[in-house]
Structure 1
Amino acid sequence: MDSQVDGLSGLRKRLWNYGRVPLLIVSDSDSSTTVFNALSNPRDDSNPHARPLSTASHSERAEEVLKAFARKQVEAGVFARDHLASYRDSRRVDRSLLKNLRYFRQRHGRESLRRASAIDDLVGGTLIVSYLVDRQVLDARHLYELTGTQDFNSLLMGGVSSTLRLFEGLAQKFNGDVFGAMPDAIMALDDEDLQAAAALLRGDDLATGQTSLWPYDFSIVPPDLVSSVYEQLLEDKRASEATHYTPKFLVNLVLDELLPLDSDDMPRIVDLACGSGAFITEAFRRLVYRQSRVSSTLGYNQLTEVLQKHIFGIDINKPAARATVFGLYLSLLEQVDPPTIWDSVVLPQLIGKNVVVADAFDDHALSGETFDIVVSNPPWVSKITGPAQRFLKEKDRHIGDKQLAQAFVWLATEMLKPGGSLGLVMPAKAMLHNRSKPNLAFRAAAFKELEFRTVVDLSALRKNIFAHAIAPTAVVVARRPDSRKEDNSRRADRSILHVAPHNRTLNVAIDGLVIAPEEIRAVSSLAAIHRPDIWKVLLWGSVRDLELIDKLRLEHPTLESVVAENNWAMGQGFKDAPRSRQKDASELRGLPELDSSLIDPLHVSSLPTKVFDRPTLHRHSPALYRGPMVLIRRTMPRGRLTAAFYENDVVYSSDATGIAGATEDSYFLKAITAVLVSSLAQYWHFLTAASWGVERDSVDPNELRTMPIAKPDEHQMRVLEEIFSTPAPFEDLAEDIDNVVFDMYKLDDMDRERVLQGVVQGVRRFQANARAVPTVDDATIGNYRSVLASRLSASLPDLVINTSHYFETGYSMVSVHFSPESRQAGLTEQPSSIDLGRFTDSLASNARTTAVIAQPAGFFIDGDSVYIVKTLDRDRWSYNAALDDADRIFSALAFEA
């Protein structure tokens, strides 16, 4: 038994150090089964989540446990939902290492820039030595030859003198860019720093001083995980450059598109902002794998040739460049048999040749070269460097709002060979959603010049991708056309793969992108060029939402047009700008001044008590402050647009936007107020505004002007007057407001339901906790079945349609039965004869990537019946999903697909 315990303990230790396997299921000979969270440190007694997730001692119960953690249940996210707290609070190896590294850097490197730089070098050098020691490349004999001490921990505990001997010997032995900088770094430190580094590498908790019972094993910890942790450590130093480390799954997502394993090509690859080298270290591994398919044994010289001829990177930050070299060295040594490294390996010099420290837009060793593949996670900052400005001017390229990431798109294009491909991790708003004129011009030019293949909009996951950056992310993959070989007319309207994933519970347990089939669409390249809002609408909606938005635009004038036609005034209130040119504001003095926080839906919550008494204002229009008016609050309390009708003159700040008109137009201004607080306006702006649903709860004042406005008839106006005069909370009036607004816009039942469901499925999901993914219930599945049956009945009037649904752990199945018999259609609660397990077993994923986990879905035709199987996530059984599934069924039956 003791040996069995030690064996399990050792396995759990190895899995924790590996940091990539979420589950460990152990079955013993006595028919007991135990399930562990393999990401959590099992020796952390203070963490209740280190305990088993489930255990059973009898064979029947053990079989139930195994079923609960079967592959189909894991892919459906069941185990992650049931054990959410365990995975959310896991003390994973990367979190533990990063926490200690960050504390070590802040505690020992804060006194001066020189010490901070030395600490960064020490971290990189000691990590790579730990890797060599744990892999038995540096054994006790080698350490003794270099230093007279047989143990790395003892060397560090010995302080500066013993550690200096080690790194001087390693620099002479291995050469390379990491060890070469170490002697100078160590001389800038003291014994206490090196002893703290020893504690860090042992796995001690530096903040508390608690000794580790479960040390790091760098023979198991993946080198790319160490590199990414090191890059996150450098984030504090690189914050001013708006750079963020690239998660492993994003690296794989890009490289699966550009550098799949099942090819023999050996392209030249460059990362224009390489950070810790996440992209190019993984690219190197993939090229080595490709080469190994051709040559079964690769010697060290062949490996270094692959590295030096095919892998390149640029970064303006020297510590980041060193981190890249550190990662490349680890990846290189990973490919070499450990016993041979000491006798045969001299690490190549990479800095200045393969890894260049420079502004990517400036003149440097790689300037003027072209590559087969360009990758990058460029800086997300609205600030253009001098070299970038010169590049844009020289190449006659244009960007929006000084977005440096957009300049990197053009640099990548210039550095690509004709026919080459790029993969970039971009700020989603700058790449897809910002609709200022300069941004629109950039986007149109990019989609015209480049052949975009894939756009992955991760805006809905903005809180999940980068821990310290709420800015949303997009991944774009494109190809530079070869005009010498290709006919441009054939590329006129290409299809772009568009993926817009949303939060899934499984995300907390795995490092990957969880995608439902419904989140994958094809977008016309012409639409990408000429329809600026397409990415935003498809982020939270569907093609049907595009159609409804087009219908509203076609049938009604914009708010901006209505304001102009009626000679109203519209704009933001005054801004505090004391240093700017001022205008006389005496005509406004003595008027009440309204705080925007008093603006509630329909009315202001109380009369203003403050009196405006400023003698001057910067750029103001007196007409904006003359009642009657609509006041629109800039902030969005409770996550919704808020507007109030106000009858009298009042002054307000730029925290509100006003629409001021004539007294005789009060009825129309009230109608506009009702429209703005209705579900229709929430739906419209959520699907069209650049920030709301992407970055924050916000609608730009200029975006308010785009709302289509319908004019009420006399009956509708009487209803609105009654609503405005009713002293009731807005929540009690919301349904009545929606009904009269829907009548004003002449929306049919289907469009009304689409709007209401759009608010539920879009706005509320955007506001929801990133970890909380609601599951479907009987009411939701009943609505789905009703819509599905209604839609099919309209398309197939000669058939009687019956539906039913059935739940199994992690999945729901809806069956649709067609019959020509004249019996009443019904919504039966249980299917008569369905083997759901047979269907779910057939949903096994055949994905060839570790970057994406496909949420299972099935569509089966069996005689006169159709079966739809999906996971329990509520959004997969929505109103739009029912319409889409009905169309899919109709197409399958009509065309026997």
Structure 2
Amino acid sequence: MTAHDSDQWLERLGYDSGSVFLHRAADGLKGQHRYGPELDVLLDPAGPIRAHAVFDVEGVPTVCFFHDDGLLSDAQRLNDIRRRIWNQNLVSIILVLSGSTVTPVPVSRRANVGTPVQQSAASSHGLFSAADVQSGDLYARHADWFRHEERVDSYLLRNLNEAVRQLTKVAGLSDEQAQQLVGQLLFVSYLEERGIVTDVYRRERKVARMGDLVTQQDSVGILRLLKQLKSDFNGDFLEPSAGEDPVWKNLQPSGYAVAQRFLSGEDMSSGQRRLWGYDFSFLPVELISGIYESFLRDEQDELGAFYTPRNLANLVIDQALGNCEDLGAQRIYDGACGSGILLTTAFRRILTHVEAQRGQLLPLADRITLLKSCIFGSDVSKAACQMTAFSLYLSLLERLQPADLAQLERGEGVKLPKLRGENLFSGAAGDFFDTKNKLVSKPSFTVFICNPPWKEPKKGAQSSADTWTESQGGAVVRRQMAAAFAHRALDCVESTGRLCLILPVSLFLAPTSQRFVSEWLRKVKLHRLINFGDLRDLLFDRAHHACVVALATPRARNQQFVPVAEQFEYWVPKADTSLAMGRLTLRGEDRQWVQTQRIVSSNQALTTLSWGGPVDIALCARLRLHGRLDDMANGRFGSWQIRKGVHLNDASRPLQSATKLHAMPHIPVKIVQGSLPFVDEGLLDNFPREQKKVVGLDKELLAVFSGPRVVFPDGPSPGLEVRAHFISASASFTSSVGVVSGPEEDADLLKFLAVYLRSDLVRYFVVMSQYSVLVAQDRITLKDIKSLPFMPPARHPNPEKARAIVAEAAQAVADVQGCDVFEQDRRYQQLRRKLQKLIFQYFGLSQSETLLVQEVVRDVIPSIQPRGFSTLRTELQLDAPLDKLSDYAEALRAELVAWRDATSGRGDFEVTVQAATAGQGRFAVVRVNLVAAAGNAKAAPAVEADKAVQATIRMLQDRQLLPMRVTSNIFLAADVVLLVDSSAYIIKPMQRRAWLRRSALQDAQRIVQTARGVGEIPRAEAA
């Protein structure tokens, strides 16, 4: 098969040969690419893989192309290629091209070769086309090809943890000894399999291969090998701490057996031999550094440290080094280097950039000079700095020139540099807040990158961060160490330096963090804030909280104020099927500009903008304006009680007799989890007889056990619905139940409250205002309940109308209660729509606002925060039906008309949506025509028009109106507005998320700003 034939295949499948995302061997060193070294290995015509081409999606190599020169009929060779690519942990699928077919080959070890596609059926929107890959349709059809647990990173990390566990259990090693032993196995395996420790090296130094020594249980030989490697490579990771015996010296046979199984690639949990194991000649250095996560199994909670995933590390380095002109001149510091993944990623990026500039690989001596001048780190943990040094050593030894390798073999080459004590510091010297840390003593770094500990010291404990904070005359919110890091980081960067931090999302979104946000934004110019709240359960395997990435630069110390016009980019990426392929995807609707001064005053907008927009900010503000439910209890509007029930146990408080509770009925938690807005009194039970004592049974608590009240469970809230139940009969309940209690004359208002708490409006408000629901838990707390908008009829703008609505809702509840028990649920469902409408009327929502609220409940809430990769393909990622596209068109036109009227404009708008629905990677084109005469235009129903859509795309491409990134990946185009004569175009993927009403409002604003030439209003310049 000729190169010309291959190129024709690529063109037929939509892999444009002129695209910057298609890579070939002839392109040379990929120094500007984040995965440049990996691409070179894949494409090396003399290497072990020898791909014809590689296609990347959003910077991640995703598709690997091969000629079928007998490859498909040579199972051994094909599996060798798959194994190597699997170990590289990037490419998702292999496509083998022949004269008449293209055959898909999954990289996953457990998946079989796919069915070939005939040339006659291949197209730019067909199976395995660029559109199929970019849109995620490929994942939807073949999710079993991309199982997260089958990726090499998941497999290796599982095996590391299991190997350490077995060494401690069967061989009697301590955690630290087991961790050191496994680390030594990794390091030596890497040196051997990367061709750094060869047969020549072993013959010259009279040492043997590590695997052979483990099989022979030769502790003397292993110690000789480690000592020699320590001498040749300066690897202090290879020796025990002072005064300790080497772990291999007295290792039991059972320990050697575990080590041998680990080296073989066996599944350590099941004992099964895998089809292929890990290959250290292809495993990425960043993944090796991820073993720090395993080594801190028991320390993670104490230190607040978590392994930084490779895709997140790359994103951080993208942000930190994005616009740096001379990467080789940067001085980069990580104040809590942990596994070293951020520093390793940064150094590899700098190294490949410098090599690309020079047009050749750097010799080892030059690499060492570059490393010593660019990379610095510290950590309180010695093990962390050892692992960071280990990772950086591996980066130095990657792709060495033959002359360097020959010198290393003969012991004549340059030794690896001493890093600990010179570039890397641990203990007190590595404590970011200790005066012994010399790296923080003056502002000498150009870039500060860090994933600091997310730690709140225990009560009574005094951390070094506390001491430093007190010396600065301030206090950190909740004593969160990450907040102290953010402040302290300003002491070590130059005035023009950059900060790029991975921080807990609570530091920016929690109401209690307002002080930190205000103070920090006065000290820094925030350029970009990336909120990964929706990916909480997908990014970090064991962390309980979501993260943000903040990119900022210091303000001048004498100018620590925020200009009114200053803005920053706020990105909120959502869970996407691309994550299963190792990519972090940002859609156009996930990106907004936010006025910095607004957040200095109140960080509430950051929560609202996670799923909402300016219209949601305005609606929530208006709802709060009239009061909160808490005002019914604090004396402002009334004297209700809002609290929890009786505590059964509390060691810090005195016990009291439960006799009074035994004399009345009891509300078990299970009966306040139903679908009706009232308690079925026939299900009341007795207070547990064995519970003789309780806590806090005072007069005020006894009062809420009788009279009209609303009770609800204090626990997970499916669908974010408060399962509120009205009851007036006397009955107790425990602290697992919350209550809103009022006087007898407020019985109808409390029935109305039960309906309100179950309403779509409350669910909407929770999503738009309660940060903890979006990023931490799926439960609505008592504090959240108190903050809900509420006002009694007497405080309503129209008291008479409000009283009528309350009476009607209360009567509806009584109507359902009066039905036969088997008819109640059906009757309630009949009345539910009417009750929802009454709630919207009570709070004064317009029709357009009501539609936005219902959209959040119907479409958004079911897709918030998938709990794992198996649930990654949410409803919002499915294709939108044509009626949704039509609704979008109506909303877009209405919003444009509102903009016209608000700005005293003229004319009207004609909106059409044409959808390409054939094949894979479907998308649609929105066209807005400006009509001179007002009143004659309309939004036409969306239609299927494949040829018309393709013609529009070709027209825009021919006129060179599409940006390069959009030309190559149409699925990133949703935030690009194109003006052609008197029309505006937006290209959008068919995913439902792109066609929500709130997307229409966002797009209308983009169109207006683009048309008026104000798309670049004053903002914090891109860092």
- TM-score, with structure 1 as normaliser: 0.90
The 1-side partners of 2:435 and 2:973 are apart by 47
* Aligned match of 1:357: 426
Q: Which runs of 5+ in 2 are unaligned?
A: 1-68, 794-801, 817-823, 901-905, 1016-1023
* Aligned match of 1:44: none
* Aligned match of 2:120: 60
Q: Is the 8 A contact 2:882 2:943 kept in 1?
A: no
- Counterparts of 1:456-467 in structure 2, within 5 Å, are 456-467=530-541
Q: Flag the 1:17–1:408 CA change in 2: closer, same or farther, 3 A.
A: same
Q: Which stretch of the first structure deviates more once superposed, 812-821 or 197-206?
A: 812-821
1:625 aligns with 2:726: no
Q: Which stretch of the first structure deviates more once superposed, 820-829 or 186-195?
A: 820-829
* Aligned match of 1:806: 915
Q: Is the 8 A contact 2:521 2:562 kept in 1?
A: no
* Letter in structure 2 aligned against 1:184: P
- Counterparts of 1:37-436 in structure 2, within 5 Å, are 37-38=106-107, 40-41=108-109, 47=110, 49=111, 51-56=112-117, 58-61=118-121, 63-64=122-123, 67-88=126-147, 91-110=150-169, 115-147=174-206, 149=208, 151-159=209-217, 160-181=219-240, 184-232=246-294, 234-260=296-322, 263-264=325-326, 266-289=329-352, 291-292=354-355, 298-334=362-398, 336-337=400-401, 338-342=405-409, 343-358=412-427, 359-366=431-438, 368-370=440-442, 371-383=445-457, 385-429=462-506, 431-436=507-512
* Aligned match of 1:749: 847
Q: Flag the 1:348–1:888 CA change in 2: closer, same or farther, 3 A.
A: closer
Q: Is the 8 A contact 1:454 1:496 kept in 2?
A: yes
The 2-side partners of 1:492 and 1:887 are apart by 21
- Counterparts of 1:688-767 in structure 2, within 5 Å, are 688-712=769-793, 713-727=802-816, 728-729=824-825, 730-766=828-864
1:602 aligns with 2:683: no
The 2-side partners of 1:248 and 1:53 are apart by 29
Q: Is the 8 A contact 2:915 2:942 kept in 1?
A: no
Question: What is the deviation of 1:104?
Answer: 1.4
Question: What is the deviation of 1:295?
Answer: 6.0
* Aligned match of 2:526: 452
* Aligned match of 2:543: 469
* Letter in structure 2 aligned against 1:512: R
* Letter in structure 1 aligned against 2:872: R
* Letter in structure 2 aligned against 1:520: R
Q: Is the 8 A contact 2:589 2:974 kept in 1?
A: no
Question: What is the deviation of 1:145?
Answer: 3.1
- Counterparts of 1:528-543 in structure 2, within 5 Å, are 528-543=599-614
Paired-residue identity, %: 23
* Aligned match of 2:624: 553
Determine helix, strand or coil for the equivalent of 1:651.
coil
* Aligned match of 1:884: 1002
Q: Flag the 1:97–1:660 CA change in 2: closer, same or farther, 3 A.
A: closer
Q: Is the 8 A contact 1:804 1:831 kept in 2?
A: no
Q: Is the 8 A contact 1:235 1:245 kept in 2?
A: no
Q: Flag the 1:838–1:446 CA change in 2: closer, same or farther, 3 A.
A: same
Question: What is the deviation of 1:36?
Answer: 1.9
Q: How many residues align?
A: 875
1:777 aligns with 2:881: yes
* Aligned match of 2:11: none
Q: Is the 8 A contact 2:669 2:737 kept in 1?
A: yes
1:11 aligns with 2:87: no
The 1-side partners of 2:147 and 2:860 are apart by 24
Determine helix, strand or coil for the equivalent of 1:432.
helix
The 2-side partners of 1:526 and 1:858 are apart by 27
Q: Flag the 1:478–1:441 CA change in 2: closer, same or farther, 3 A.
A: same
- TM-score, with structure 2 as normaliser: 0.79
Q: Which stretch of the first structure deviates more once superposed, 230-239 or 727-736?
A: 230-239
Q: Which runs of 5+ in 1 are unaligned?
A: 42-46
Of residues 871, 875, 879, the one that matches 2:993 is 875
Q: Is the 8 A contact 1:811 1:869 kept in 2?
A: no
* Aligned match of 2:91: 21
Q: Is the 8 A contact 2:916 2:945 kept in 1?
A: no
Question: What is the deviation of 1:91?
Answer: 2.4
* Aligned match of 1:501: 573
* Aligned match of 1:516: 587
Q: Is the 8 A contact 1:788 1:883 kept in 2?
A: yes
Question: What is the deviation of 1:596?
Answer: 3.2
Query: How much is the aligned-residue C-alpha RMSD, in angstroms?
Result: 3.3
Instruction: Please give the per-residue CA displacement for 1:110-129, whole angstroms capped at 9, x wherever unaligned.
Output: 46885432332222222222
Q: Is the 8 A contact 1:817 1:865 kept in 2?
A: yes
Q: Is the 8 A contact 1:115 1:189 kept in 2?
A: no
Q: Flag the 1:817–1:230 CA change in 2: closer, same or farther, 3 A.
A: closer
Q: Is the 8 A contact 1:270 1:312 kept in 2?
A: yes
* Aligned match of 2:1020: none
Q: Flag the 1:889–1:454 CA change in 2: closer, same or farther, 3 A.
A: closer
Determine helix, strand or coil for the equivalent of 1:657.
strand
* Letter in structure 1 aligned against 2:807: R
The 1-side partners of 2:1006 and 2:716 are apart by 38
Q: Flag the 1:275–1:717 CA change in 2: closer, same or farther, 3 A.
A: same
Question: What is the deviation of 1:335?
Answer: 5.8
The 1-side partners of 2:302 and 2:1007 are apart by 53
The 2-side partners of 1:193 and 1:615 are apart by 53
The 1-side partners of 2:774 and 2:172 are apart by 41
Question: What is the deviation of 1:293?
Answer: 6.5
Q: Is the 8 A contact 1:514 1:855 kept in 2?
A: no
The 2-side partners of 1:863 and 1:738 are apart by 45
Question: What is the deviation of 1:277?
Answer: 0.2
Q: Is the 8 A contact 2:647 2:694 kept in 1?
A: no
Instruction: Please give the per-residue CA displacement for 1:630-662, whole angstroms capped at 9, x wherever unaligned.
Output: 223322443311212222343322222222221
Q: Is the 8 A contact 1:76 1:856 kept in 2?
A: no
Q: Flag the 1:227–1:854 CA change in 2: closer, same or farther, 3 A.
A: farther
1:786 aligns with 2:890: yes
Instruction: Please give the per-residue CA displacement for 1:812-861, whole angstroms capped at 9, x wherever unaligned.
Output: 3144464669698642634596133752895988569xxxx957665444
The 2-side partners of 1:110 and 1:415 are apart by 44
Q: Flag the 1:216–1:741 CA change in 2: closer, same or farther, 3 A.
A: closer
Q: Is the 8 A contact 1:114 1:188 kept in 2?
A: no
Instruction: Please give the per-residue CA displacement for 1:666-714, whole angstroms capped at 9, x wherever unaligned.
Output: 1222222222111111111221113112111122322322222144534
* Aligned match of 2:948: 834
Q: Is the 8 A contact 1:158 1:195 kept in 2?
A: no
* Letter in structure 2 aligned against 1:52: V
The 1-side partners of 2:302 and 2:143 are apart by 35
Of residues 640, 643, 648, the one that matches 1:571 is 643
